[in-house]
Amino acid sequence: MGGSLSRITVEALRWLLEPRDTSDARVPVLIDVREPHEFAAGHIRGAISIPLSTLQDRVGREVPETRSHVVVYCSVGPRAEAAQEALVRLGYKRAVALSPGYVAWNGSLERAPESSLSAQRYARQRVLPEVGEAGQEKLRNARILLVGLGGLGSPVALYLAAAGVGTLGLSDGDEVDLSNLHRQVLHTTGRVGRKKTDSARRAILDLNPEVAVLVHDAARESNVDLWLTGSTAYDLVVDGSDNLRTRYLLSDAAFRHGTPLVHGAVHRFEGQVTTLLPAAAAARRGLPVSPCYRCIFPESADAGLSPSCADAGVMGATCGVIGSLMGAEALKLVLGVGTVLSGTLLLYDGLASTFRRMQVDPSCPRCVPSA
């Protein structure tokens, strides 16, 4: 999160935009990073519309001069903050975010304060002693990377967005297929053929426009390290991917960077969930280091849950059960409450309606060098 130097108040922006008869050198470039329909409903005069998800691709064309003084804004702040961070990374060192945002600019903040709207939205969870005002703030400051926007990623994304997680990164390389829809409840019939990241972004913003949604490509060796390092690193990874290669990749990266990771997988009527806590993440919570994914599923072994949904089939509601458990693990990690499934693989048998806990210890050569 940027400091006060990266923000500009509504009053300061009004002053900058006031007509003057002297030089106009201080007039900033205004970028509205909200969705096109929000822009169409009203925007600050002179602003250009570049929705957050397209910012990286379009800003170079729209604002070729990186030394420009750029002001980005959204409705209430989180998307503008994400945009400001992205712009600074792209070399726009003078980019600032309008705080709070358009609702304050056009006066609607006076009629319906953001704080009271948020208070209503989160009232039933904020009343929980484990959440409260402080917990809601932790959720707002959380940056969670969600890899895989399928059967598991769908409930995870919806519950994290609904709970008010401030920043959600979305990674998936696939397009929505009609055969996905019996289990991938983020997507709709009307969005078949669209990129899953775009479809998921639409669903998340429809549910909670306060979430800053960042769209990424599929996870690869070349990008996962970037996502987990630096000032804009994600502080938690939720792995809802459907293949072993990605699971090893994410687990390895999480353990390299000390980032906690929630893993889930489904197969027919069965599923599994566990939370991986590398040393740094475990130490922050006063917990023992957990095994990594390689400890639980050695690469050579038949991992059991490896055949894809296309080959083996899967019950949609099974994804809902496991994905919801993954969402609960992620929220507990952010809030720092309860006991997470660290060192425990929770196994669900949907036909028998039973859960079984399996203890797993670090055992792979990386986690136990002498092994």
Residue whose pair of structure tokens reads 């019996």 in the numeric block: 182
Q: Residue 341, interface with Zn ion (CB under 5 A)?
A: no
Nearest alpha carbon to residue 208 among 55, 79, 68, 87: 79
Q: Residue 261, interface with Zn ion (CB under 5 A)?
A: no
Q: Residue 276, interface with Zn ion (CB under 5 A)?
A: no
Q: Shortest Cβ distance from residue 222 to Zn ion (Å)?
A: 23
* Residue of the chain from 203, 228, 292, 331 that contacts Zn ion (CB under 5 A): 292
Closer residue to Zn ion (CB): 71 or 292? 292
Residue whose pair of structure tokens reads 């009004």 in the numeric block: 14
Q: Residue 367, interface with Zn ion (CB under 5 A)?
A: yes
Closer residue to Zn ion (CB): 234 or 255? 255
Phi, psi dihedrals of residue 189, rounded to the nearest 5°: -55, -40
Interface with Zn ion by CB under 5 A: which range of 111-119, 125-133, 291-299, 327-335? 291-299
Closer residue to Zn ion (CB): 79 or 294? 294
* Residue of the chain from 163, 295, 315, 326 that contacts Zn ion (CB under 5 A): 295
Closer residue to Zn ion (CB): 78 or 278? 278
Closer residue to Zn ion (CB): 101 or 291? 291
Q: Please count the residues of this chain forming the interface with Zn ion, following the rule CB under 5 A.
A: 5
Interface with Zn ion by CB under 5 A: which range of 84-92, 183-191, 320-328, 359-367? 359-367
Interface with Zn ion by CB under 5 A: which range of 47-55, 83-91, 118-126, 358-366? 358-366
Q: Are 154 and 323 in contact (CB under 8 A)?
A: yes
Rg (the chain; Cα; Å): 22
Q: Residue 294, interface with Zn ion (CB under 5 A)?
A: yes
Closer residue to Zn ion (CB): 151 or 260? 260
Interface with Zn ion by CB under 5 A: which range of 81-89, 121-129, 156-164, 285-293? 285-293
Q: Residue 364, interface with Zn ion (CB under 5 A)?
A: yes
Closer residue to Zn ion (CB): 178 or 368? 368
- Angle of helix 132-141 relative to helix 316-335, nearest 10 degrees, comes to 110
Q: Residue 277, interface with Zn ion (CB under 5 A)?
A: no
Q: Shortest Cβ distance from residue 231 to Zn ion (Å)?
A: 28
| Site residues, Zn ion (CB under 5 A) | 292, 294-295, 364, 367
